[in-house]
Structure 1
Amino acid sequence: MKVKINRNAAKALKKMMDQEEAQGKIFRVYVTSIHGDHAHYDLMLDTPTENDVVVQSDKDIDFIVEKNNEYLDNVWIQFFHVPNEEWLITNPSKGVHHHH
């Protein structure tokens, strides 16, 4: 399983991890719904369970992902400042995405 994030996302996530409510937790990237050939994704702070694996991103941030969920392998998390601040979570290998 792989998770990739852009520099803006890494900065924003590291800032969130410094907050008190994030202590002892890791970001979970998960599928909120699947519609035919595409999925919708979201992020939340969580702790891993026996059904999960912790994966280190290319920017040294750990993410919890559900084991053996093909929609989560190769997820790409991006944060943009322009034209508006927004999160974009995609899976290029599945051709699916969701604005967070």
Structure 2
Amino acid sequence: MNCKINRNAAKEIKKMLSTEEAEGKMIRVFVTINHVDHAHYDLKLDTPTEHDEIVKTDKDIDVILDKREDFLDGVWIKYFYVPEAGFEITNPSKESHGHRH
């Protein structure tokens, strides 16, 4: 499985991972809604399970992805500061629509 993270997202994720709440946890990207031809995504702090793959990114952040969810392979995590600050998670290889939060 593959996962990309842009520079801004890496900066924000590292902030999340440095909190007390994040101790012993990693970032998980998951599908919130599957529309058959595209999916909506979110992320949270979590720990891996037996169905997960820990994906190493080029930003030195490990991301948990559920191996059973096809829409997660190739996911791209971006963070934008304008027009309003938030993450956008897409999967260009699956022609998914981005979901900003």
Count of residue pairs brought into register by the alignment: 100
The 5-angstrom pairing of residues 12-27 of structure 1 reads 12-27=12-27
Deviation (angstroms), 1:36:
2.8
Q: Who is 1:32 aligned against?
A: 32
Q: Who is 1:69 aligned against?
A: 69
What is the CA deviation profile of residues 32-88 of structure 1, one whole-angstrom value per residue up to 9, with x for unaligned ones? Answer: 111131101000100000010111112110010001422001100000011210210
Q: Who is 1:52 aligned against?
A: 52
Determine helix, strand or coil for the equivalent of 1:11: helix
Unaligned runs of 5+ in 2: none
The alignment-based identity, stated in percent, is: 60
Greater strand share, structure number? 1
Q: Who is 2:100 aligned against?
A: 99
Q: Which runs of 4+ in 1 moved over 3 A?
A: none
Q: Who is 2:8 aligned against?
A: 8
**TM-score scaled to structure 1, two decimals?**
0.95
**TM-score scaled to structure 2, two decimals?**
0.94
Unaligned runs of 5+ in 1: none
Q: Who is 1:83 aligned against?
A: 83
RMSD of aligned residue pairs (Cα, Å): 0.9
